[in-house]
């Protein structure tokens, strides 16, 4: 199988008639636990995948940027006049949005020719859009010769998403894509922006983390993600706190008793309990007790299904089938409304667990899922040219 770096380099040459000056890669991520907690100033625990997006880039003559992707036959040109939120739509909007955010932050972004190639599954809750944005940002910073510290880069990518693309997402995905290190999960406090690399040696523990793509597409730019965020903000307002992060899980019963609206009450219960689950998971991983984190993953799924209401039948079926096949824990991962589930299994049980989910999907008449096992990998990096 050709890796995206090979494809990006080759297609760059075919498209622009010269070699790129560099290749920059940024990975997709899987979130182990901590869903919809980031924009509530809470805790998350993602790790980077080996699956990544590569941008091959070189300075361009003209006053503009040109971008092409191996997935489309489309070449998109944009100039300074297009650096207006929402102006460039579709996949190229993520690229234009990064240029916009960099220029707005005062960086001298060089005009460039760009070629994108990726093996991150698209629209599956594994952060393909952030992988593209982070790869674009690191490529343009590399070409331009300016250095942006990791968390500042993550915040610029968040501005791209929130203001140029128009998706009200939090900080988790770009932080994961930029800051993760191989063999670790990233424990991120989304209020203080403190990070801790938590060792995650799945193989050493005799375990596998199965990622199973239900092949039901999800999107953040639609209304449901934004509605969840609004309900959380309403909950914080009712409770008189800056963000739901400020409610301790021990105070949850008292807090819930103050909320009349049943929907807001359940959204608050998810976020507050999920923050506690992230912290418990981190404590278990620090102690080397990976398997013991399984029930927390499963509890997270139940909370997303019943209280946050972001799962869909395919995702619930996949989790139930994985657990019935003996997984230690299983949950949907990512923004929700489709996408992937994860299941923690013994290393030699990953394939049979996936087969059990495939059988459950066939019985339910769902489209067949895809699956692979996750390897905690490095964040964004510059690659050598071949
Ligand atoms: C998406 C968003 F981009 C993240 O910021 C996060 O909110 C996640 O959904 C849910 O945990 O991936």
Tens digit of each residue's pLDDT (9 = 90 or more) over 254-294:
999 999 999 999 999 999 999 999 999 999 999 999 999 99
Query: Which of 47, 335, 342 has the most ligand 1 atoms within 8 A of CB, as the residue to mutate?
Result: 335
What residue's CA is closest to ligand 1, atom 9?
335
Q: Is the pLDDT of residue 179 over 80?
A: yes
Check the CA dihedral 212-133-38-228 and report its sign.
negative
Which of 88-92, 274-278, 299-303, 350-354 has the least mean pLDDT? 88-92
**Residue 260 known to be catalytic:** no
If DSSP codes are grouped into helix, strand and coil, which group holds residue 189? strand
Distance CA 386, CA 383 (A): 9
Q: Phi, psi at residue 281, to the nearest 5°?
A: -65, -45
Give dist(CA 169, CA 257) in Å, integer: 29
Q: Whose CA is nearest to atom 5 of ligand 1?
A: 170
User: Tens of pLDDT along 79-117?
Assistant: 999 999 999 999 999 999 999 999 999 999 999 999 999
What spacing in Å lies between the alpha carbon of 229 and ligand 1's midpoint?
Answer: 10
Cα separation, 333 vs 201, whole angstroms? 20
CA distances from residue 374 to 47, 115, 141, 182, 270 in whole angstroms, order as listed: 9, 26, 29, 12, 26
d(CA 166, CA 221): 7
Q: What is the DSSP string of 327-380?
A: -SEEEEESSSSSSEEEEEEEGGGHHHHHHHHHHHHHHHTPPPPEEEE---B--S
Task: Please choose, from the candidates 44, 38, 34, 53, the residue with its C-alpha nearest in 3D space to the C-alpha of residue 379.
Answer: 53
Predicted-assembly ipTM surpassing the 0.90 threshold: yes
Q: Whose CA is nearest to atom 1 of ligand 1?
A: 335
- 245 C-alpha to center of ligand 1: Å? 16
Distance 363 CA to ligand 1 centre (A): 31
Atom of ligand 1 nearest to the CA of 31: 11
pTM of the model: 0.96
Pocket of ligand 1, beta carbon within 6 A? 35-36, 38-39, 169-170, 172-173, 220, 334-335
Question: pLDDT confidence of 221, banded at 50, 70, 90?
Answer: very low
Which of 322, 329, 129, 105 minimizes the C-alpha distance to 225? 129
- Residues with Cβ within 8 Å of 356's Cβ and at least 6 positions away in sequence, in order, are 321, 322, 324, 325
N-term to C-term CA, the chain: 16
Q: Which of 38, 41, 113, 173 is catalytic?
A: 173
Q: Is the confidence at residue 222, as pLDDT, over 80?
A: no
Q: Which domains does the chain have, with CATH numbers?
A: 4-197+377-385 (3.30.230.10)
Task: Summarize the confidence of residues 158-163 as an average pLDDT.
Answer: 96
């Amino acid at each position: 199988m050709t890796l995206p770096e090979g494809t990006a380099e080759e297609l760059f040459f075919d498209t622009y008639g010269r070699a790129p000056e560099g290749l920059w890669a940024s990975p997709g991520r899987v979130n182990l636990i901590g869903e919809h907690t980031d924009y509530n100033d809470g805790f998350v625990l993602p790790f980077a995948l080996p699956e990544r997006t590569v941008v091959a880039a070189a300075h361009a003559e003209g006053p503009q940027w040109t971008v092409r992707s191996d997935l489309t036959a489309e070449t998109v040109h944009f100039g300074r006049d297009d650096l207006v939120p929402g102006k460039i739509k579709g996949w190229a909007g993520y690229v234009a949005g990064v240029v916009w955010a960099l220029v707005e932050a005062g960086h001298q972004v060089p005009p460039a020719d760009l070629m994108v190639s990726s093996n991150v599954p698209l629209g599956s809750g594994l952060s393909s859009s952030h992988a593209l944005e982070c790869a674009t940002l690191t490529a343009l910073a590399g070409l331009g010769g300016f250095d942006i510290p990791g968390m500042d880069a993550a915040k610029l990518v968040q501005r791209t998403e929130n203001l140029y693309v128009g998706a009200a997402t939090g900080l988790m995905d770009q932080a994961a894509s930029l800051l993760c290190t191989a063999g670790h999960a990233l424990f991120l406090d989304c209020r203080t922006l403190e990070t801790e690399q938590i060792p995650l040696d799945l193989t050493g523990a005799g375990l596998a983390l199965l990622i199973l793509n239900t092949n039901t597409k999800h999107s953040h730019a639609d209304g449901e993600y934004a509605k969840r965020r609004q309900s959380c903000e309403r909950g914080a307002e009712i409770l008189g706190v800056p963000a739901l992060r400020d409610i301790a899980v021990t105070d949850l019963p008292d807090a819930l008793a103050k909320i009349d609206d049943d929907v807001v009450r359940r959204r608050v219960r998810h976020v507050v309990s999920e923050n506690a689950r992230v912290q418990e998971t981190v404590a278990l991983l620090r102690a080397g007790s990976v398997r013991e984190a399984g029930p927390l993953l499963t509890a997270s799924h139940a909370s997303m299904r019943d209280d946050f209401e972001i799962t869909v039948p395919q995702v619930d079926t996949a989790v139930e089938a994985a657990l019935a096949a003996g997984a230690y824990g299983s949950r949907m991962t990512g923004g929700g409304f489709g996408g992937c589930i994860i299941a923690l299994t013994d290393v030699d049980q990953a394939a049979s667990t996936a087969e059990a989910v495939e059988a459950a999907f066939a019985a339910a008449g769902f489209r067949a899922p895809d699956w692979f096992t996750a390897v905690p990998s490095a964040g964004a990096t510059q690659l050598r040219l071949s």
